Amino acid sequence: MLIKNVFKRFGGVKALQGCSLEIEKGKITALIGPNGSGKSTLFNAISALITKDRGKIELEGEDISRMVGYKIAKKGISRTFQEVRLFKHLTIRDHLQIAISDDESLIKSFLVFDGISDKRIQEVLDRVHLDKPLGTFVTDLSYGQRKLLDLAIAIAKPHTLLMLDEPVAGVNPRLRKVIKEVLVRLSKEGETLLIIEHDMNFVMDLADVVYVLDEGRVIAHGKPKTIQKNKKVLDAYLGE
């Protein structure tokens, strides 16, 4: 994916000021920066949850800049959100059936699915180590289990790019380790990942490439070891 010179402002706030990134296929790219630096705004611009003011976004050579959100999703962008977004009255099975089917007509017909076996759903859950009965309702899951289900849904949906917004936010160290192992395995399988994460130890030990945003601009990018020593990055985080 190529993101070229993307701008977005909200009233007098310049949320994005000419952001350009290249998301390499088969790599884990991390997007970091202090609070308010524009990370989530860029995620939302890529997935067309907000309309950018100007700029270009290409997915596998195709310009998707003017596409609406559901069409971008159909093109192969699957994402999670900082706050887990699940249907509290649906089960684990229901959520995975919707994701795997990737067919809005099935969703409109209120969960009438054919050909999606429990075995296939269980295979997805096994990938994220979520060990709960398929008939479990979301309201009966812990916060960490909801994070795993959210990740499973993103993985299950047909995609070429996986965008994860703070995948380990608010989870305990054991679950953080589990999620890291899942993401490493996905990368080894050839998946392309773009992640936002505030846990710097997690990011620096996981990502192939790191982009740093500050005040809506990319102020640095490179390998984790290089980023850790970059004075602009240190100043942005320490407020110097």
Domain ranges of the chain: 1-76+161-169+194-240
Q: What is the pLDDT of residue 127?
A: 95
| Alpha helices for the chain (secondary structure H) | 39-46, 69-75, 92-101, 104-108, 118-127, 143-156, 173-188, 200-204, 224-228, 231-238
CB-based contact 55:6 (threshold 8 Å): yes
Query: What integer pLDDT is reported at residue 236 of this predicted model?
Result: 83
Please state whether 188 falls in left (phi above 0), alpha (psi between -120 and 50) or beta: alpha
Q: What is the pLDDT of residue 179?
A: 96
Q: Cβ–Cβ contacts within 10 Å for residue 117, how many?
A: 9
Apex 134 CA angle, 132 and 137, nearest 5: 85
Fold of 1-76+161-169+194-240: Rossmann fold (3.40.50)
Position with higher pLDDT, 82 vs 131 = 131
Query: Which pairing describes strands 2-10 and 13-22: parallel, antiparallel, or unpaired?
Result: antiparallel
Does 95 score more than 50 pLDDT?
yes
- What pLDDT is recorded for position 110? 47
Smallest CA-to-CA distance from 206 within 171, 143, 152, 164 is with 164
Q: What was the pLDDT predicted at 125?
A: 97
Where does the pLDDT of residue 109 fall: very low under 50, low under 70, confident under 90, or very high at 90 and above?
Answer: very low
The CB-side HSE value for 226 (13 A sphere, CA atoms) comes to 11
Contact 160, 186 (CB under 8 A): no
Average pLDDT over residues 214-229: 94
Q: How far out from the chain centre does Cα 137 lie? A: 23
Q: What local confidence, expressed as pLDDT, does residue 154 receive?
A: 96
Query: What's the whole-number mean pLDDT along residues 195-210?
Result: 92
Residue 79 · residue 165 · CB < 8 Å: yes
